[in-house]
Structure 1
Amino acid sequence: MLDLILSTLNKLPLITAFAIVGIVMWASYALGRLLNNRIHGSAIAIVAGLALAYVGGIVTGGNKGISDITLFSGFGLMGGAMLRDFAIVSTAFGVRLEELKKAGLPGAVALVVSVAVATAIGAGVAYAFGYTNPVDMATIGGGATTFIVGPVTGAALGASSEVIALSVAAGVVKSIAVMILTPFLAKPAGLNNPAAAAVYGGLMGTTSGVSAGLAATDPKLVPYGALTATFYTGFGCLVVPSIGYMILVALFG
């Protein structure tokens, strides 16, 4: 019986991946409820996913995490760019434009300022740890904006795989921090309406972190924060490898 189940799972790797993610999400949200949602289920699920990826890499000695194990090979597609981008875009479908327009100029300013500040902080930390090449600084600075901007910047500028991995790690840490801290900061920050959520999304920038944090605060705010956070990612992908890199070259090149 067990052989039959394993054989079926091996033949349907993508379905297997969805089933396992469903189980992990269910368990994570159940744990989150036990913790009174002080830590959102999404944050717990991401930590669990990172742990599984680490275990998969250690067990197989590979470089694709858990998908290096044949039974879990479907994660290679499920976790790829196609489904990731679909999930990000789908968050915009709950937006009412009249509410989004209320963010107006503050939302746009928050987006621009936040990308600049995050890139500068990331580049500064990279420099402090000995990564003084402008390419490395720009890549790690991009990772400090989001874990998507970092790899995009690194690929555009020809950064090493080590530096790109560091940029992803920086973005993941930021994402998890935003997920966990948003519910605690929501009340003092006045994060209780769509316009505030839109500004917050532009300020924080990490779509996954903002979405999970707002979901733990008020699910109705998720589309507004996620939409501007998505703009943040796109904006970062445009300016960090270009303007950001040129500024770093002028200062440190």
Structure 2
Amino acid sequence: MEIIGNILEKNSLIFAFAVVGIMMLISRFISQKATRGRVHGSAIAIVLGLGLAFIGGTYSGGENGLADITIFSGLAILGGSMLRDFAIVSTAYGVDLKEIKKAGITGVLALFLGIFVSFILGAGVAYAFGYRDPESLATIGAGAATYIVGPVTGTAVGASSEVIALSVAAGLTKSVAVMIGTPMVARFIGLNNPKSAMAFGGLMGTTSGVAGGLAATDQRLVPYGAMTATFYTGLGCLFAPSVFYFALRLLFG
């Protein structure tokens, strides 16, 4: 066991990839068997990750969750801002601007309206719970957009780790709600064709939530909704730490 422990410590980043891969396999299995695909595997993986972070932090008494345990230290690099932002940028490179034109003006309006409304609602809830500084309001508002935009914004504006964690929780809650709610409301909102799927993806924004919800509704609609949801994340990362943050600074100092 000591030899194995030493090997894992010396190859902590590779072990971190293996841990995440195993968690994704378990999450996908739970998604398929326990929820019949209605709750996407990525949402289950995030919940499992948060649980392990709590257990790791409680066990080690540290501040970095499971990464405070030596053999899991590679998770600090794998889950750090550098690889996170790299993943976001690499996703953006896979998007073709010509494709979004297929959604027409409806898709574009859905994108901007979805980001603006989500941010305002998130910041409003944060304000109601006593947050008054622009950094916290911007971070939690961005988290209400998606759980990716929240941490990106929090890191950029210098928000505390507790507020960034709240933004992730807000985004995760939204993602799960979209996954579960999409099949229930699809028939009532006309979510049965590519154009409406693009508009829906632009309004909701959470890529995993939209993909999971559309997969449970009609798998043929997933690429269309996921495409505009990807643009949503990119626009959120652009506007939340800049335009929205500076607007909050003007309002709250």
Q: TM-score range by the shorter chain?
A: 0.7 to 0.9
Q: CA deviation at 1:204?
A: 1.3
Which letter maps to 1:211?
A
Contact 1:120 1:141 in 2 (8 A): yes
Deviation at 1:251, TM superposition (A): 4.5
Counterparts of 1:157 and 1:86, CA distance in 2:
19
Give, in whole Å, the separation in 2 of the partners of 1:243 and 1:92: 23
CA distance in 1, matches of 2:61, 2:241: 32
The one-character-per-residue Cα deviations of 1:126-177 (angstroms, maximum 9, x if unpaired) are 1111113344322321221123333343344443443333223222322333
- Tell me if structure 1 keeps the 8 A contact 2:153–2:240: yes
Identity %: 59
Deviation at 1:109, TM superposition (A): 0.4
* Superposed counterparts of 1:53-64, under 5 Å: 53-64=53-64
Corresponding residue SS for 2:115: helix
Provide the aligned length of Structure 1 versus Structure 2.
251
* Distance in structure 2 (CA, Å) of the matches to 1:95 and 1:222: 17
Q: Deviations over 1:7-46 (max 9, x none)?
A: 4333322332222223222222222222322333332222
Q: Which residue is equivalent to 2:72?
A: 72
Q: What is the distance in 1 between the residues matched to 2:56 and 2:39?
A: 25
Partner of 1:204: 204
Which runs of structure 2 are paired with 1:144-163 in the superposition (5 Å)? 144-163=144-163
Map residues 48-127 of structure 1 onto 2, 5 A cutoff. 48-85=48-85, 87-88=87-88, 89-90=90-91, 93=94, 100-127=100-127
Q: Give distance in 1, aligned partners of 2:87 and 2:134.
A: 33
CA 1:158–1:106: 2 relative to 1, 3 Å: same
Q: Counterpart of 1:14? A: 13
**In structure 1, the residue corresponding to 2:178 is in which secondary structure?**
helix
Q: Residue 227 of structure 1 aligns with which residue?
A: 227
Distance 1:50 1:113, change over 3 A: same
- CA distance in structure 2 between the partners assigned to 1:209 and 1:19 by the alignment: 25
Shift of 1:246: 4.3
Give the TM-score, by structure 2 length: 0.81
Structure 2: how far apart are the matches of 1:92 and 1:181?
30
Q: For the residues of structure 1 that align with 2:247 and 2:147, how far apart are their CA atoms?
A: 21
Secondary structure of 1:37's aligned partner:
coil
| 3-state SS, counterpart of residue 38 of structure 1 | coil
1:179 and 1:212 in contact (8 A); partners too: yes
Letter in 1 for 2:124: G
* Structure-1-length-normalised TM-score: 0.81
- Once the two structures are TM-superposed, the CA of residue 242 in structure 1 deviates from its matched residue by 3.6
Question: Structure 1 residues 43, 242: closer, same or farther in 2, change over 3 A?
Answer: closer
Q: Which string of whole-angstrom CA distances, capped at 9 and with x for unpartnered residues, describes residues 103-126 of structure 1?
A: 121111011111111111111111
Q: Which deviations, in whole Å up to 9, do the C-alpha atoms of 1:43-82 show, x marking residues without a partner?
A: 2222111111111111112222212211222222332345
Consecutive unaligned residues of structure 1, counting only runs of 5 or more, are: none
What is the rounded CA distance, in whole Å, between the counterparts of 1:121 and 1:228 in structure 2? Answer: 21
Contact 1:143 1:171 in 2 (8 A): yes
8 Å Cα contact 1:183-1:217 kept in structure 2: yes
* 1:46 counterpart letter in structure 2: I
For 1:248 and 1:91, how far apart are their aligned partners in 2? 27
Amino acid in structure 1 at the alignment position of 2:26:
A
Q: Give SS of 1:102's match.
A: helix
SS of 2:102 mapped into structure 1: coil
Match of 1:29 in 2: 28
Matches of residues 31-50 of structure 1 in structure 2 within 5 Å?
31-35=30-34, 36-50=36-50
- Indicate the RMSD between aligned Cα atoms, in angstroms: 3.0
Partner residue, 1:237: 237
